[in-house]
Amino acid sequence: QQSELNSFLWTIKRDPPSYFFGTIHVPYTRVWDFVPENSKKAFQQSHVVYFELDLTDPYTISALTSCQLLPQGKNLQDVLPRDIYCRLKRHLEYVKLMMPSWMTPDQRGKGLYADYLFNAIAGNWERKRPVWVMLMVNSLTEVDIKSRGVPVLDLYLAQEAERLRKQTGAVEKVEEQCHPLNGLNFSQV
């Protein structure tokens, strides 16, 4: 029953009330039907919405991309053991080969091409820090590829907030997400 689901919604009792909603970074279509009505209603009734990051801001996207890169002059081949680097390279070649068969007719109908999608996800992979490459590889599955083009829940809610002309903001800066991940040592990654 929709009404019995855990809502991941907390209410801060004040006048007017404030809400805190826990999201997940997956295509919203995978979870939207399981978001209870009280959470959707709280979103609809809100006038101001804050997100973890402002995923609609080009600076945020640019800064996220930049923070993933190794220091200037360094490549992944310089920091990974040779055997891991070679396995990674072979795996990415396999993914690139398989990607056309993983794409949906709907994606093709929207003008998405496998090469474009591969480059959008894995482009410049040899310049990325190992932790970001690991996250990238984890998202290069058939299921994830089939859902590309569908915004993650956070982005969907941000786009809806903009469409509904709600005031929006972010509670974190890119650096607050990047520095902890970039601070992990190789064995932790």
Q: Report pLDDT for 25.
A: 83
d(CA 16, CA 47): 11
d(CA 141, CA 146): 9
Would you say 130 and 189 are in contact if contact means Cβ atoms under 8 Å apart? yes
Whether the per-residue pLDDT at 2 is higher than 70: the answer is: no
pLDDT digits (tens, 9 = 90+) for 104-144: 999 888 888 899 999 989 989 999 999 999 999 998 999 98
- What is the mean pLDDT of the segment spanning 39-57? 91
Return the number of other C-beta atoms located less than 10 Å from residue 27's C-beta. Answer: 19
Whether pTM exceeds 0.75: yes
- Bigger pLDDT: 88 or 144? 88
At residue 56 the predicted structure's pLDDT band, cuts being 50, 70 and 90, is confident
At residue 36 the predicted structure's pLDDT band, cuts being 50, 70 and 90, is confident
User: What residue spans of 48-152 are helical by DSSP H?
Assistant: 58-67, 76-79, 82-102, 105-109, 114-122, 130-138, 142-146
Preceding peptide of 36 cis, ω within 30° = no
Whether the per-residue pLDDT at 7 is higher than 80: the answer is: no
Listed by start position, the domains of the chain span 2-183
Q: Report pLDDT for 83.
A: 96
pLDDT digits (tens, 9 = 90+) for 57-70: 899 999 999 999 99
